[in-house]
A = this chain, B = another copy of it.
Amino acid sequence: MKIDPHTRSLCKNIETPFLLFDLDIVRENFISIKKRFPKSHIFYAVKANSHPRVLTLLDSMGSCFDIASKGELEKLISLGVSTSKISFGNTIKKNKDIQFAYKQGVKLFVADSSMEVSKIAEHAPGTKIFIRIEMDAGDSDWPLSHKFGTSKEIAVKLLIQAKKLGLIPYGVSFHVGSQCYNPKRWPVALEKCLYVFDKLKNENINLKMINLGGGFPIQHTKPIPTLDEITAEINQYLRNFDPVPQIFFEPGRSMVGNAGVMVSTIITERKYGRENWLFVDAGVFHGLMETIQDFRYELKTDRKSAHPVEYHLAGPSCDSLDIIYDNVILPKTLTQNDRLYFLNTGAYTIEYSSNFNGFEIPKIYFKDELTNKKKKKKK
């Protein structure tokens, strides 16, 4: 979302910090992926932004959902989402949560270990299972490796185990890492998938599906490949499969990231020796958790940046970990009560937030609601 005079004026009287959010952009993002992969199923990663309006919109557009927990499942059910559209995509699941999901009608589960395969077979008998293959951490901002996934060789064994236990060995999944910069990572992962497909054919197991996870990057401060470039790489490699399998995606950041702007206010400035500090009311524990791995968002202010200065930028809590960036260039004229906008922060911001230090979790305001309110006022 752009910060222009219209969006500035829409939210100028709202107390910060908050996330300004545009559902139209989510709509565009969904269409954009669907257009490139018309036969694919999109399982939105609920953990990226679980606001009911986001989930309801995506449900109405035909999206499926990737869940991490019973809590996310209950939320979707409460919104009327059909459980046939839900994939339990966490490799770490309690038995009772597998049971609960199964009873509610979830029929698709992931695993990356023998124990998890056995648990699913026991508590969700006869359902479809896919195995997550590991990818190393290369070329992404928020690697999802190490903790998750298994080798292609073990994936073969786990799918054979699944069949023996009465499950339907359905496919494989991978995740190139959140915010992945290199389109060549997808064919690297798909090559591992092909290995598993081929090996299992020899066992008379015909896998049907590849879940390509998430990882489509959104624009922050570094150049990113286009979705078309990534699409080309994926489609080219998929030609090696016969038949071409069903394709699932689990976009999170790429579905909602660019639909939101975290709006904060400068509380205090401090000059200390050569250091310039700015303290704002959003912070590591209140909307900006990803910055602890130096995840760089684009920043905007209402000032002209004629005299850029290097700042330390920190959040409002009494915690030294709550430093957003230790070096960031911003206009010298910035001072208390000025607003600071963190662009493309619609994903993984509110979700990570806590009440630490007694601060409230940033609220979400929707652009359409604010626009309607303004129109009503004018009448």
Q: Report A336-379 residues with CB < 8 Å from chain B CB.
A: 336-337, 351-360
Contact between chains at A358 and B69 (CB < 8 Å): yes
Complex: A51 Cα to B229 Cα, angstroms? 52
Query: Which residues of B are found within 8 Å of A216, using beta-carbon distances?
Result: none
Contact between chains at A90 and B147 (CB < 8 Å): no
Q: Looking at the assembled complex, report how far the CB atom of A54 sits from the nearest CB atom of chain B, in whole angstroms.
A: 14
Contact between chains at B292 and A323 (CB < 8 Å): no
**A89 within 8 Å of B (CB atoms):** yes
Q: Which of A3-11, A186-194, A313-321 contacts B (4 or more CB under 8 A)?
A: A313-321
State the number of copies, please. Answer: 2
Complex: A371 Cα to B253 Cα, angstroms? 47
Query: Which residues of B are found within 8 Å of A75, using beta-carbon distances?
Result: 358
Complex: A124 Cα to B116 Cα, angstroms? 59
Q: Which of A163-171, A238-246, A254-262, A263-271 contacts B (4 or more CB under 8 A)?
A: A263-271
Give the B-binding residues of A (Cβ under 8 A).
Answer: 45-47, 50, 67-73, 75, 89-95, 112-116, 119, 142-148, 150-151, 154, 265, 267-273, 277, 279, 281, 285, 292-293, 312, 314, 316-323, 336-337, 351-360
A92-B267, A113-B270 known, 19 other contacts, Cβ within 8 Å: A46-B358, A47-B318, A50-B358, A69-B316, A69-B358, A71-B360, A73-B358, A90-B317, A92-B314, A94-B267, A112-B270, A113-B277, A119-B268, A144-B320, A146-B323, A147-B277, A147-B312, A147-B320, A151-B273
